[in-house]
Amino acid sequence: MKPHCDFLVIGSGLAGLAFALKASEIGSVVVLSKAELSSANTPMAQGGIAAVMSTADSFEQHIQDTLKAGAGLCHPQVVRAVVEQGPERIEDLIQWGVQFDADATKVLELTREGGHSARRILHVGDHTGLEIHAQLLQQAQKNPKITFVENNLALDLITNKQVEPFDMSPVRCLGVYSLNKQTGVVESLTAKMTILATGGAGKVYLYTSNWGGATGDGVAMAYRAGARVANMEFMQFHPTCLFHPQNRTFLISEALRGEGAELIGPQSEAFMKKYHPQGSLAPRDIVARSIDAEMKRTGVACVHLDASHLGKEFLQQRFPLIYNKCLSLGIEIHREPIPVVPAAHYLCGGVVTDLFGQTDIQGLLALGETACTGLHGANRLASNSLLECLVIPHNAVQKIKENWPQIYHWSTPRPPPWPLHDKEDADELMVVTHMWDEIRRLMWDYVGILRSNGRLQRAQHRLANIRKEIKHYYSNFKTQSDIVELRNIATVADLVVSCALQRRGSVGIHFNIDEPEAPTDLSVPGSRDSILGPGSMNELS
């Protein structure tokens, strides 16, 4: 592993790879992956990527759909900047080898998803993220300027304050401490620029569509280093995750509803129209709450998504991944409906950044789901996430090019060694597994689709006690990935609860039964962005 590089990218999903490919034009890049390179949320994205690519659509329509889905909390200038870059960033993907579905005349096939007023979702079957990730990874692996390091878990950011505590200059990131999961050795990696592209935090919840490593590492590290985070209460619950004892994380793409699949209750009745005029294609927060309400009203463990009327041939061709996965579990979706439930899916909040990915800390960028740019507001519009993962990295590299002479001459002093602890106790470490489970169940039960002030306060109190225990294990036991990730999900869970308690009224994904009305005056603190800075939580870890 190279101990120093120009750009250290933490995360191997779409945002990290897009940045790496473009930044390699400037200098050397190291991409750090906590597991194998294919392990990320991007390959699990089924639906597609939203962009205005048809004369029947317009930037204004896409902008308005995004603002409406975000329940008035999106930052309009960010929405416009991202949407208007859409066609150019799609061209980047095509140049990198992505072949989107098209008809015989090579006209792109566009589908529609919830909250969209037009067909604008480009896709590759129902495995768009998998194809995009594979093509970008292939391009990056051929690039001599890019080095990949697998199975290395970032532990904490290194800042100038750690090297020189009395340094009066602004906080600047110098790199990261990283745990080699195979050898157990902790190394320090330094860089001119450090880029957090660690994805989301779905594993904070008991049920999630995310991959197993989505533990909010980037958000937790940035917060501990002094960066602000915002809108962490806006964890989007995808309405339709497969409900099956053998698989609780498989996503049933919203694109299936975009093609006409209908949500039905236990008597095979379509129920969404009574909750929203757009029915099964209403924004995700509304669909998730509606499903939750139907399950509670009828006492069933799940609802069903009926796509049988679309026909076997169409389903096999358009949704091969979903069709075959369900078939392997004994569900013939051309004959019977699919059992589905909501699951934690996408974090709309994160580390506060601008349109160039810049955080509060010099030399530290945050991209993709790790960042809170203001694009998503209180609820992400379907398929806008992959677009954001292309636009912000592009902007970041353009900005770096303008300032590279100055950045290049930043000093990168040797950081202090990582503190070593050798204690290992198998019986004691069993408690770590129990705390993992306790946090995730606590968040699901108290900070899920519906919240209340009492539940949030109880969650905050219980998390404070759990974090005290985690501090003991983290400070006294040998550094290992389970404890590190537990520390991170506890920090992120506390941030989610703290933001939810700060939020006034119910808006978008955040629904507080004690304050069901949306705020009418967004100038009131806690009504637009719920922002937490250093010291705003009880810092136990």
CA separation for the pair 402, 210 (Å, rounded) = 36
Alpha-carbon span 274 to 257, nearest angstrom = 17
DSSP string, 62-95: HHHHHHHHTTT-S-HHHHHHHHHHHHHHHHHHHH
153 Rama sector, left if φ>0, alpha if ψ -120 to 50, beta otherwise: beta
106: left (phi over 0), alpha (psi -120 to 50) or beta: left
Q: Are 438 and 204 in contact (CB under 8 A)?
A: no
Catalytic sites, residue numbers = 284
Residues 506, 512 contacting (CB under 8 angstroms): yes
Structure tokens at 421: 């602890």
Q: Which residue type is seen at 189? A: L
CA distance 26 to 510: 41
- Evaluated on CA atoms 261, 267, 269, 271, the torsion sign reads negative
Buried b (16+ CB within 10 A) or exposed e, 116-142: bebbbbbbbbbbbbbbbbbbbbebbee
CA distance 150 to 44: 19
What is the number of other CB atoms lying within 10 angstroms of the CB of residue 299?
7
Are 209 and 195 in contact by the 8 Å Cβ rule? The answer is no
**What is residue 530's three-state secondary structure?**
coil
The DSSP call for residue 405 is: H
Distance CA 495, CA 483 (A): 18
Looking at the DSSP bridge assignments, the partners of residue 423 are 477
Q: Distance between CA atoms of 238 and 344, rounded to whole angstroms?
A: 6
